[in-house]
Amino acid sequence: MKSLSISISDWKYLIAIVLPAICFIGLFPNFLERDTFFWICIVTIPISIIKGNRNFPFFTLVISFGLITILFPTVIGTYLTVCCAILFFLQLWKGGIHIIGLIHLFLASPFFIYTSTLVSFPIRIWLTQVVSFLLGISGIENKANGNIIEMGDLTFLVDSACAGLHLLSYGILFGTIILALHIRSKNMSGWKMINLYLLLVLLIIWGNIVRIYLLVALDIREDNWMHYGLGLAIFVFQVLLPFYFLVERFNNNQSSENSFQASVKFPALHSIVSSLLILLVFLRTNIYLEAKQNFQLVNKENIGIEMVRDDVAKMYDGKVLTYIKSPVAPYRANHNPMICWSGSGFAFGHVFKEYILGIGEVNMAKLSKGKDRMYTAWWFESAQGRTANQWSWRWRNIQNGERFYLVNVTSNSQDILIEQLKKMRDSKVISNLITSR
């Protein structure tokens, strides 16, 4: 009977852990981007599911993330609520789970990649300027132009890979694995772990600056094996190994024996509360996503118009392709062109800001896919004004409720694109074309 009782308790825990995950995948099947980074995260998650504080408040996090997501519905909030619920029941079942498991699960979500892509533009510009300055003080004449370094007739593009976005994601992932392996044998305070993560980010940034500097100074192009070999060597010898020794040096506390005891009795009350909360989160998020900001375009110039989705419209006149995408809440991710075009297989080359008289500052970039080349520009526009800055439109929305649409204009020719932008400068794209349904 005792063996049967333990078996029943184990099944209850298994159901409480597996069921929320299955429901999340069923409701949001496209949320988790199944790329190489995602699968490496999934395969290595068991390394980070380690013994930790028996009393760490995972259940409090379930309540906190759940309530926040009900008030401000997002899929990432739903994901974190489910992850905390899974870790909470795993904590009770096995006797203590370290918070580093939650960090690892967060890295597996696309939110980290989205954030990296969102800030990639200013990161590229900043890195280009830093490397250009270092080259200058080294006696190498050069000029920074957006994310391009010009040296006479030579140009070097600081693209998304060179900007360290891959290095950042993989660096934090493998840094998390190093910390998890260390914590298995030694205790580590929360403040030490935070400080070590900060040091890891600094190592990644500095390693990336050194890599770009060497690639430019030594004129190592993409078709040279050293282009990738150098990046791998810096990743290992200037990021991971120094971080490993920092972890060993900064944390010498010996771990006490784990005396955590798993719960024999299944927490029925906690299970009911978390299940009801997760159900409300699922319903609230799903309803919010289905209630899209629908709109329609008024065809004033007999241009071909197509509603790609209820919240995305497309216009094409044979030369210029224009997407207009509906507003989103300021705390939500929008249809960022740097993500949407990348999802279509295009790589972003030269990225820069351009001032168009009458429109103001716009984001511009060169797109490439195999032999195909396109030029794109985008900004955010409300009935009251325009801005090219992600954070500006979000802040203005919070301040006065301005609803900003994303306007993305693309052409095969940069000259045609600039000409189209100049035509649009005297018109309010949103107020002229859009009416609510």
pLDDT at 119 over 70: no
The pLDDT tens digits for 52-75 are 767 788 999 999 999 999 998 888
Question: For domain 292-436, is the CATH number 2.60.120?
Answer: yes
What CA–CA distance (Å, rounded) separates 115 from 287? Answer: 24
Of the ranges 96-105, 171-180, 291-300, the best mean pLDDT one: 171-180
- Domain parsing of the chain, residue ranges: 2-120+158-286, 292-436
In sequence order, which residues have a C-beta less than 8 Å from that of residue 77 and are 6 or more positions away? 65, 68, 69, 281, 285
pLDDT at 365: 85
pLDDT at 368: 83
What CA–CA distance (Å, rounded) separates 346 from 411? Answer: 14
What confidence tier does 4 reach under pLDDT thresholds 50, 70, 90? very low
pLDDT at 154: 76
Q: Sheet holding 148-151: strands in order across? A: 143-145, 148-151, 154-157
Tokens matching residue 127:
């890195």
What CA–CA distance (Å, rounded) separates 50 from 47? Answer: 7
The pLDDT tens digits for 351-375 are 777 887 767 788 888 888 878 889 9
Cα radius of gyration (the chain): 25
pLDDT at 299 over 60: no
What CA–CA distance (Å, rounded) separates 170 from 251? Answer: 23
Rounded to 5 degrees, what are φ and ψ at 84? -65, -35
Quick count: other Cβ atoms within 10 Å of Cβ 186? 13
What CA–CA distance (Å, rounded) separates 203 from 239? Answer: 5
What confidence tier does 276 reach under pLDDT thresholds 50, 70, 90? very high
Tokens matching residue 18:
């597996």
Give the pairing of strands 405-411 and 434-436.
Answer: unpaired
**What value does the mean pLDDT take over residues 119-133?**
78
pLDDT at 3: 46
The pLDDT tens digits for 11-42 are 888 888 899 999 999 888 877 777 788 889 98
Q: Residues 353, 343: contact at Cβ < 8 Å?
A: no
Q: Residues 53, 189: contact at Cβ < 8 Å?
A: no
| Average pLDDT value for the chain | 80
pLDDT at 160 over 80: no
**What value does the mean pLDDT take over residues 323-342?**
78
pLDDT at 164 over 60: no
What confidence tier does 5 reach under pLDDT thresholds 50, 70, 90? very low
pLDDT at 197: 93
